[in-house]
A = this chain, B = another copy of it.
Amino acid sequence: MLLKRFASTSTGTLPQTIRQILCSEKDTASKIHVHGWIKSVRQQKNVTFAVVNDGSCASGLQAVLSSSLHANFHSLTNGASVRMTGSLVTSPGAGQAHELKVDSLEILGECNPDVYPIQKQSLTLEYLRDHAHLRPRTDANAAVLRLRNSLVKSLHAFFERQDFCYAHTPILTSSDCEGAGETFRVTPSSTPTPEYESTPPDPHAEFFSKPAYLTVSSQLHLEALASSISRVYALSPCFRAERSQTNRHLAEFWMLEAEWAWAKEVDDVCGVVEACVKDALGAGRDERALLARGIAGQEERVKSLEAAAASEPWPRMTYTEAISELEKCHTSTASRTRPFAFEPKWGHGLQSEHEKWLSEVLVKGPVFVTDYPSTLKPFYMRMNDDEKTVACFDLLVPFVGELVGGSLREERLEPLQQRMTSHGLDPAGEEYGWYVDLRRYGSAPHGGFGLGLERLVSWVSGIENVRECIAMPRWAKRMLL
């Protein structure tokens, strides 16, 4: 038999990253290998200092290269990829505890400084968006990617502790959960090849036997799963064919959605949201410090975040109370110009300016607004006893606005059927009949919420536009890579 069983020194363990090397922080006589990209170079008479980073941490590692090294110092430029061998020693200089005394240097990939699009000087957001494939090479964008990773880890850890099951709900679906109508349609880009079907296919026939759309929310599907395994959550891409160009909207974004059985009060759902978001506020401190340095006026935001993380239960007010506060502000202002462009009025949606005022001015921190009028909300939210409002909430946070939305779901068969009919949906139809079925067999009170991941990144990092909060953003008229 010709089987070549490699003696294989490969244990599946990769060499240490620069972050790991710096965390171990030990002077070592033994040689270590460091890979990374050159971030800066400072040449002195007999010695060259270079900062090298593999993107694993905010700081990178200072490398000290003696001029006696047989190496191509000419190629040691910003952006070049290198392999260095040397020893980690205590740094005599300020700014870092340890540095790498380099014994040998290998340039793996040169980077011509005359044409490299990522120059050291500050580049505009728009320029970097145009260079989406190279944007991660900036310190700021790399920090956002690591911060996002830290936030997701924190969310996963929270739900694992609470015994939730992570689930994958479908991206392709036939229903439009939010009823907003701004969906994307999906069709195969080519007709089938004859090898699979003996009769010529009907080009008008749907691939899935019915029209397919990209999901706008995993909620309805999560409800089906929560009717069996009680506690489920998904971290899933969602899609809206939104043509408006705001700094809070993307055509493709990621949502953390959780759904659980046996929830009976909106207040309980808010409690879980608050615990989960407060946890996340502790994530990625190095990255946030790096990002705060790059943005003007960050002190206020950072202070507000720290206060939110430390504060007692975040305030909760009903929509009716919120409207009353907004009306008071709108009419009592001494100045002749009203503070809001839109008049706050019971029965009307809260505008972005209203949401900001509630969290930034009135509460000065995160605030839950609960029990909105049923006419403003989707059919699946549980009707309150007043028959006017539904058992729901939005979590509003400073600088961002709505971060989370959630509710109890209508678990009673007849009230759900009534709501659907009044929303023009057929409770017995193919599209939503299955959803009604969940109330027919062992229905359980339940609730849940959805959190926009890019908005969480935006709030925590202080980055204003969600286009900088995801690696490769998509919005109307723009899809690079």
Contacts and interface: CB of A to CB of B under 8 A. Distances in A.
Interface in A140-174: 141-142, 145-146, 148-149, 152-153, 156, 160, 162-163, 165-174
A325 B444 contact: no
Interface in A185-213: 185-190, 192, 196-197, 207-210, 212-213
Contacts of A262: 15, 35, 54, 83
Interface string A205-249: 001111011100000110011011111000011010101100000
Interface in A66-114: 79-81, 83, 108-112
A199 to B, nearest CB: 13
Nearest to A254: B168
Contacts of A212: 479
A272 interface: yes
Contacts of A468: none
Interface stretch (A312-320, A346-354, A396-404, A459-467): A312-320
B271 A10 contact: yes
Contact of A188 (B36, B145, B185, B210): B185
> This chain: how many copies in the complex?
2
A79 B442 contact: yes
Interface stretch (A128-136, A335-343, A374-382, A417-425): A128-136
A80 B442 contact: yes
Interface in A2-36: 2-6, 8, 10-15, 17, 19-20, 35-36
Interface in A265-280: 265, 267-268, 270-276, 278
Contacts of A38: 442
Contacts of A453: 168
